[in-house]
Amino acid sequence: MFALVSTAGIHLREQEPYNVDGDNSWRLIPGNIQTEQLMVTHSHYDHQDADQDINCIFPLDRLRELAAEGIIGGVGDKHLGFMGYTQNFRDLYERVAPEMAKTISRSQADAVILTAGCPLCHRVAAAIAREIEMTGIPTVFITVAPDQTRQAGPPRAIAPLRFTLGNSLGALDSQIYNARFCSMLSVASKQEKSLEPSGSQSMLNMTAASGNQLTFKRPKK
């Protein structure tokens, strides 16, 4: 079961928006919601594409489609949103990230995919990924700010080339979303702890060569 965690300012339309000047609150996103119920509150990156299709940065529909095709085992019952433009890092490290990790560990998730919005969001996402991995759940961070991500040192990340802030899965084009996403997961599922920039063509080739279900095994405690 895959869960999504994003620091890109994702939340339900009915939930309280984030304070874009700095906010250390996070939002629980139920696994059974429709993506039309989601929105972005964030003023530190361009999320115009995500405003049209949230899957650009929070690929919940893509996960559901891959699960329906048998490429992944399923989609978890809980996902998390956060607005990663924060200056209160002590609170992030000591309270927020552990809270989020505990919530994921008590969900159905066997693995977590992370995305981020602005450059600072990428550093925050890496910190959350480390905390989640400490609970025994593997993570993969899809980063479009590889320099910041390398400095932050997440356990596992992939950096697709030519993708920009606000477009973790590339520009709007639903016909190739799944190929991109499946390729990213295929690459990430073979990684231990590394950051591998990959062009879309090489990732598509990996997808074509792989017919097995993609899994990230949760270590036994």
pLDDT along the chain (221 residues), means of 10: 96 96 95 96 94 92 87 92 94 97 95 95 96 94 90 88 85 58 60 42 27 42 44
| 214 lies in some domain | no
Give Cβ neighbours of residue 164 (< 8 Å, ≥ 6 apart). Answer: 46, 144
| 123 lies in some domain | yes
> From CA 56, how far away is CA 165, in angstroms rounded?
10
Q: Which domain holds residue 138?
A: 2-209
Quickly count: other Cβ atoms within 10 Å of residue 197's Cβ.
Answer: 13
Q: In this predicted model, what pLDDT tens digit does every residue of 111-137 receive, in sequence order?
A: 999 999 999 999 999 999 999 999 999
| 220 lies in some domain | no
The total of structural domains in the chain comes to 1
